[in-house]
Amino acid sequence: MKVLQIVLGALGGLLVGMLATVMHSGPVDLPVVGLVLATALVASGTWFLLEWKKPYVWLGYAPGVIGATIWLLMFPPVNDSVLSVDQWVSQLWLILAPVAALVPSLLLAYRRPDSTSGEKAAD
């Protein structure tokens, strides 16, 4: 079952990575908007999978996002069609994609339990 979760996470990561990589260049003359939206998409996927209590799915999701990003930006023939007009945007996305896939997991791992979550402690 864990292998299936990792494979499904990798497929989801590939899809999210492809969508975010296409979206990262943003609308005309607004590349920062595309970077913010793409980063939010990847980070929200990581957050959802970890809050869903499926860490094995995340183990496939993160490499899937990173792999799709590297594949679409670095290897021909696809790198001709998804690169941004401004080269710095694509270079920054190569850094932001792994950060967005990995940092939310670190934040969720080190957060303190919330005492106001509405759950009653066992007496």
The answer, yes or no, to whether the previous bond of 77 is cis (omega within 30 of 0) is yes
- Total-model pTM: 0.81
Residue 31 lies in a domain: yes
Q: Which of 40, 51, 24 is nearest to 101 (CA)?
A: 40
Residue 94 lies in a domain: yes
Residue 115 lies in a domain: no
Residue 23 lies in a domain: yes
Residue 123 lies in a domain: no
Structure tokens, 24: 């990262």
Average pLDDT over residues 106-123: 62
Q: What is the pLDDT, as a whole number, of residue 31? A: 87
| pLDDT for 17 beyond 90 | yes
Q: What is the pLDDT, as a whole number, of residue 121? A: 53
Question: In the chain, what percentage of residues exceed pLDDT 90?
Answer: 44
Each residue's pLDDT tens digit, 41-83: 999 999 888 888 878 888 999 999 999 999 988 887 766 677 7
DSSP 28: T
CA within 13 Å, CB half, 59: 10
